Amino acid sequence: MYLDYHAVLVFLITGAFMVCTPLVLGMLFRPKNPYKEKNLPYECAEDPIGDAQIRFDMRFYTTALIFVVFDAEIVLMFPWARVFQSAPSKGVALVAGLVFTTIVFFGLIYDWAKGDLDWVKSFQNKRRVQD
């Protein structure tokens, strides 16, 4: 009965070994010479201006989420195209792909109508949260 789980145990031990070994080796052999400039955050080789803990505009997050949704759509369309190519009933596969694409398209129309795709929004008649 328990013999069936030996493969799982070996897999877990191997996985833990493969994760922990590089961490321990890195801790032992990496150079340790921290200095002020090395610990500064930077982006694009520019010196930081101001605090790193700032509040980002929600449009960044909204745009990123919309990108993830449409990126997932494309990722799901590739296997669908492969199945559609060899499907015995191409009509059912075509309808399934069109239904999925239509739902995502209506999501795009909704985002567009809501104004989430507009980078410059008007803040008139909207209450802003003060820090």
- Model pLDDT for residues 8-45, shown as the tens digit of each residue: 899 999 999 999 999 999 999 988 888 887 777 766 76
Residue 35 counted as domain residue:
no
Residue 93 counted as domain residue:
yes
Domain that holds residue 70: 58-114
CB 115 within 8 A of CB 121: yes
Residue 127 counted as domain residue:
no
Residue 51 counted as domain residue:
no
Residue 110 counted as domain residue:
yes
Residue 32 counted as domain residue:
no
Residue 11 counted as domain residue:
no
Given this model, what pLDDT does residue 7 score?
86
Q: What is the pTM of this model?
A: 0.49
By CB atoms closer than 10 A (0-12, 13-18, 19+), residue 17 is exposed
Q: How many domains does the chain have?
A: 1
Residue 95 counted as domain residue:
yes
